[in-house]
Chains A and B, each alone.
Chain A
Amino acid sequence: MNNNYIDHTIAIPFEFIMILLFVALLLIYIGVGIASSRYLHLRKWPLYRYVFYILGILCVAASVIGPLANRAHMDFTAHMVGHLLLGMLAPLLLALSAPMTLLLRTLHVTAARRLSRMLKSQLMRIPSHPIVASFLNIGGLWLLYTTDLYALMNENFFLHLMIHLHVFLAGYLFTVSMIYIDPIAHRFSFVYRAVVFVIALAGHGILSKYIYANPPAGIPAAQAEIGGMIMYYGGDAIDIVLIFILCLQWYKATRPRMSVSMGGK
């Protein structure tokens, strides 16, 4: 098995490019946040959103470059921790930083309108649909861990990059299709999202135990067992936060508005 597929002539420019990218992403968000807070008609962009964003970018960075990412090539446990950061925690933190809201309030009115028209388009309905997002997210993981894709990924740099990009984007799409922090054009009821969420979470848990019992090609059984358990319990821990936010949004939306409420939803 060839674990050191990244030779150092590629590795160093790659890490360097990624560091530049992450620094740029941080500076853009912080810069836009501070700049937009100067407008008199806008609220000051809240500090906690900056904190969520910075932590989110750090999670992505930790899973793509640095010691954890390097160990992930040899150690399935490290790989799984990296995937939890990249596919679940980073998307959650970044969704909570409300980047679309920040963008829409900063853009010039015509540009903002064009962007929101684009988000409202029928084409956007497809990927932002909870079921489609769940399939992209959980289905992608099934494909990765139950076929030869995992072994192939460790031999091909480009495939490695694409899969990590997919894990992050699918995780983000899934998160924003479940909890509505940013404005969302195509909305679904709480019960609908709750049902899809439970099935997606089940798919995640089932895959974790499947990995525990059936290690992907080239993974020692002991590593697959620990990796599966990290996926199972780590996934639970992050999903509790998602469930909490989803329920909190229901709780706020359903508050009684008058002294005699009409009940119902």
Chain B
Amino acid sequence: MADLCSNSRKPNDITRLKYTSRNLWSGVLFGIGFAAFIDETLFHQILHWHHFYDRSTTEIGLISDGLFHAFSWFATIGGLFMFADLHRRNALWPLIWWGSVLIGTGAFQLYDGIIQHKILRIHQIRYVENLLVYDLIWNLLAVLIFTIGLILVLRTHRQLKLGAKED
């Protein structure tokens, strides 16, 4: 146990680099799950903006919704277990992880906003007159979240690689 404690004081860059992809996967999966969770709790259950089922849903829309709903459940729990795994290996790389969370959240929100809402018509953001405003805010926010995540991941990764070379 004493070894583990002294290890965890100084993060190991080599371990982190070795587990970069697991940091990425864990973050992206959790991000997708988190976006889906917000979608379900806030927009379906609390605000009642989203409808459980919309008559204009296409068949592919129903399948896409089912697959993403199922996947997001798994992604949330799986992503957190991967997080715990990284933590116990002393391989957690917080900036990469948080960046990946933003990438996952943004990507899912964009997919939901463009493909699922607009093309497959599973349901609209809110059943109001000026839907366009909601759609614009929803999707621009998604792009913003995704971009911030991507920049965070790329910059962090490059910095550590440069640092490793200088050593």
Question: Which A positions have Cβ atoms within 8 angstroms of B?
Answer: 194, 197-199, 201-206, 209-210, 212-213, 228-229, 232, 236, 239-240, 243-244, 247-248, 250-251, 254-256, 259, 261, 263
Bound-complex Cα distance A196 to B17 (A): 31
Bound-complex Cα distance A201 to B65 (A): 12
Residue of A198, A232, A256, A263 touching B74 (CB-CB under 8 A): A198
In the assembled complex, how far is the CB of residue B32 from the closest CB belonging to chain A, in whole angstroms?
12
Contacts A205-B65, A247-B77 aside, 20 further interface pairs with beta carbons under 8 A come to A198-B71, A201-B73, A202-B69, A205-B69, A206-B62, A206-B65, A209-B57, A209-B62, A213-B55, A213-B57, A228-B53, A232-B52, A239-B73, A243-B77, A243-B78, A244-B77, A248-B81, A254-B85, A263-B18, A263-B19
Residue of A209, A236, A254, A261 touching B73 (CB-CB under 8 A): A236
Q: CB distance A197 to B62 under 8 Å?
A: no
Q: Most chain-A Cβ atoms within 10 A of its Cβ — which of B55, B57, B77, B88? A: B77
Residues of chain A within 8 A (CB-CB) of B84 are 251
Bound-complex Cα distance A205 to B63 (A): 9
Q: List 28 A-B contacts (CB under 8 A).
A: A198-B71, A198-B74, A199-B67, A201-B70, A202-B63, A202-B66, A202-B67, A202-B69, A204-B66, A204-B70, A205-B66, A205-B69, A206-B62, A210-B62, A213-B57, A236-B73, A239-B73, A240-B77, A243-B74, A243-B77, A247-B77, A247-B78, A247-B81, A251-B81, A254-B85, A255-B88, A256-B89, A263-B19
Bound-complex Cα distance A255 to B66 (A): 32
Bound-complex Cα distance A197 to B65 (A): 16
Q: CB distance B66 to A203 under 8 Å?
A: yes
Bound-complex Cα distance A206 to B73 (A): 15
Bound-complex Cα distance A236 to B66 (A): 11
The yes or no answer to B129 lying at the interface (CB within 8 A) is no
Residues of chain A within 8 A (CB-CB) of B167 are none
Q: Nearest CB to that of B122 among chain A residues?
A: A209
Report, nearest first, the 8 A-B pairs whose CB atoms are least far apart.
A206-B66, A201-B70, A202-B70, A202-B66, A205-B66, A247-B81, A202-B67, A198-B70
